[in-house]
Structure 1
Amino acid sequence: MTSTAKVVTVVALLGASLSAFAPAQAEPAAVESCRELPGGLLGCTTPTGTHVTELSTLAARDGNIYVGLAASGGSSVLRSTDGGSSFHRTAPNGLTSAGMGWIVEDEETGRLIASSLESTPTCPVGDRVTYSDDQGDSWHLSPSLFCGTSDLGKSFVGKPRTDEDRAALQAAGYPNVIYHCAGGTGQTRTCFKSLDGANTFQSLGIILSSLDCKVEASVDPIPFFQGQAVVDPEGVIYAVTNLCGKASLIVSRDDGQTWDKTFIPDVQMRAYMNPLSGQHPGFDNNGGYGSRPQQPVRSIVGEAVSQAYLWQPLQLDSAGNLYLAYTDPADGRPYLKIRRSGQQAWGEKIELAPSEVGRATNVNISVRDNGHLAIAYYGLEDLTTTNYDGYLGEMTNALTTPHLTTLAVSPGAPLLPNGAAEPTEYTTADITPDGTVVGAFARDTCVINEASPLPQCDSELMYDSTRFVGVVATIRH
């Protein structure tokens, strides 16, 4: 049984062309385009004026909106002080890469925590964290380098549960544990924690491994927990994972030392790896992302990657209700399940997209007030094309009588005309203190000409941050 939300579909027109941004130090002036929405809402879109890779969105408690990370002009976090009408780079954050950019806030202290891939001569693939206590005007780079963790790093914050960690935090003068988990393209997921405010980190070891699974042709051997975990007021950590091909909730009650794993019924998974070829669906014949521009990467879409939980699919409200967003492989559409506080059973699925969206990928949610959700994803209306557009949604009363408003970010000129390919694995949403829903998206500037073996792009390489420019959408009250 599917619970159907009352749906209002709204279209916003993008007011500026984003077809030919060139890498530059100067930021082009943002041109915001807005229109009235039903119910007295206002839908707006704003180009960030920067090249981007994977994007994350943070609506901070101080009212600022942050987007991480911008790629052009060096890695940096983007900040809006006017509700998303314009964005400007903060100070350089010390990170050498904008790949897999992620930004979160310790809401108790206001500390911003950003992370990205990091490569050094002694550590070809790793992750690093940096933080700011002054809204991004200056940054402090952690000396801890998470070497060998590979990909898809996420930081999150929570209260300590163990006496040992409470004592360590008290000695360091910082109130909360800062966690960081990484390792996506490998077959393990490793977590770390900081007990001194992200200055240094200690390893919690491998929390998930493909060795936990019996590898079969129909089972994904990689235990995908790349999504951001959430922490309740008591310090209990929750995350969702594709565990051996099944959707699972993993929970830690001892600050990440041990994890309990339970399957989530009626949430189906599909293998991330192609069981016939053993290839990732986005790899070209050379086994690399876009290493052959004449064979553009188009296929990181739909049922496969969207079931891997790479992003922000799980949220927790102040009452202790858990919200899980996922794409059903039966129809490729996004849905929501809720596990109410104090219960073990998950409720019936609720639709997260209007009927005209035939397929969705990269589905992310954020929850602020109980039952009030922000939703961001890339969606496809015409299943005979690769024309994925961005969609920003707002759901109210999710716990009782769900009401959904959806904003198509760029109708008529889809953000991703070549498919939801690398590097657009992230698109997240959040809700500001005044109730504004905000989401960050990427626009692909490549124009694929089927008559030509080479794409017509603003970059020679298909897998290059200069191929994508940022767009932020808001639904305002």
Structure 2
Amino acid sequence: MTYLSAPTPFALRVRPLINATRQVIWRSYDGGTKWEVAGGFDIDPKNIPGLPGTDYVAFGTGVVGPDGTVYIGGRYGRRFAVAVSRDEGLTWDVRIVPGSALAKYHNPLHLLLLASRYLLPESVAVDCDGTLYALWPDRDGLLHASWSSDGANSWSRPVVVSAPGVRGARFGAITATGSGRVGISYYGREAGRAFHGFIAQSRDFRTAGPVFVGGKYNEPDAPLFPYGFRRGFPGSVFRRSLDEMVRVRFAPNGDLVTGAVMQMRGRNRLRPWAARARRTEMQAVLGRLGRIDRS
């Protein structure tokens, strides 16, 4: 079974002119050749009890558990939530993750200029045991994560998973495999304006005190964004690339691999491998963290 999810009728909410009202889920039984609408759920703040009508609701990429349960994580106002379906996308139940606190949504202009604080592209993962993991940035830009072993009904206490010294994380992505093995990747800022690429993994995130091992995967003098994180939406108007492309996966050999983008400015343009496209200042980059075995 293959699933596809998107807000409708528009992805961006600019009330009262444009408003995304429903998250629609399509499904395919033949690997994507033919599609049908499975179901969906309401994402209009004015129709959600307890949610201010001015807040922002946006969901990202979903995952499917070993038992076929579908999970989609995303922003639910100022909280992180997971939408759950146990009948192949027909009906949905949205469950808020306790302890999550996201940056406040102010207005459409704020979203256009600071979209990296609002969008959560790959924020959920599920391992081989069916344990669900969620990742989100708090209002200060630190990454938090939590896990659930009962299908998002109850959650562990959130813990900070961004590296010590990181003051602002953007576009965090999470993946999981085996029994509790979790990997994350994100853009992170320490001192100054530059954002680096970070990658880390935990052998078992479900322990009482999970430990993440990793760090920067770009060269120290070649941050991915040398002059601050470049907001993708304004640049897309001028046919430039978006920058919310962070992916992280475990390779068959156990290594953790991530893909992101680098802004080709300053010293980054002098790299011998830096083939620069004509109409974009972004270059795809890959990072790798070797397998961490149990000692």
TM-score (norm 2): 0.79
Does the CA contact (< 8 Å) of 1:220 and 1:270 recur in 2?
Answer: no
Distance 1:354 1:270, change over 3 A: closer
What is the CA distance between 1:342 and its match in structure 2? 6.9
Does the CA contact (< 8 Å) of 2:99 and 2:158 recur in 1?
Answer: no
Matched ranges for 1:44-443 at <5 A: 177-183=1-7, 184-186=11-13, 187=20, 188-204=22-38, 206-210=40-44, 211-213=46-48, 216=52, 219-221=54-56, 223-226=57-60, 228-272=61-105, 274-275=106-107, 278-283=108-113, 299-301=114-116, 304-305=117-118, 308-309=119-120, 311-329=121-139, 331-341=140-150, 344-382=153-191, 385-400=192-207, 401-410=209-218, 411-418=220-227, 419-422=229-232, 423-443=242-262
Identity of aligned residues (%): 22
What is the total number of aligned residue pairs between the two structures?
Answer: 259
What is the CA distance between 1:347 and its match in structure 2? 1.2
- Secondary structure of the residue aligned to 1:345 is coil
2-structure distance, mates of 1:266, 1:380: 24
Q: Which has the higher contact order (CA 8 A, sep 6+)?
A: 1
- Secondary structure of the residue aligned to 1:270 is coil
Distance 1:434 1:412, change over 3 A: same
CA-to-aligned-CA distance 1:87-141 (integer Å, 9 cap, x gap): xxxxxxxxxxxxxxxxxxxxxxxxxxxxxxxxxxxxxxxxxxxxxxxxxxxxxxx
1-structure distance, mates of 2:155, 2:55: 24
Distance 1:442 1:395, change over 3 A: same
What is the CA distance between 1:205 and its match in structure 2? 5.0
Distance 1:281 1:343, change over 3 A: closer
Distance 1:250 1:437, change over 3 A: same
- Secondary structure of the residue aligned to 2:80 is strand
One-letter code of the match for 1:391?
F
CA-to-aligned-CA distance 1:211-270 (integer Å, 9 cap, x gap): 5347747x424x2112x2122222211122322443222111221111112222110123
What is the CA distance between 1:336 and its match in structure 2? 1.3
Does the CA contact (< 8 Å) of 1:282 and 1:300 recur in 2?
Answer: yes
What is the CA distance between 1:345 and its match in structure 2? 2.3
What is the CA distance between 1:195 and its match in structure 2? 1.9
Distance 1:248 1:342, change over 3 A: closer
**What root-mean-square deviation, in Å, do the aligned CA atoms of Structure 1 and Structure 2 show?**
2.5
Does the CA contact (< 8 Å) of 1:390 and 1:409 recur in 2?
Answer: yes
- Secondary structure of the residue aligned to 2:212 is strand
- Secondary structure of the residue aligned to 2:226 is coil
Structure 2 unaligned runs (5+)? 14-19, 233-241, 267-275
2-structure distance, mates of 1:399, 1:359: 25
One-letter code of the match for 1:367?
A
One-letter code of the match for 2:158?
K
Structure 1 unaligned runs (5+)? 1-176, 284-298, 448-457
2-structure distance, mates of 1:240, 1:406: 25
1:472 matched residue in structure 2? 286
2-structure distance, mates of 1:413, 1:262: 40
Distance 1:205 1:446, change over 3 A: farther
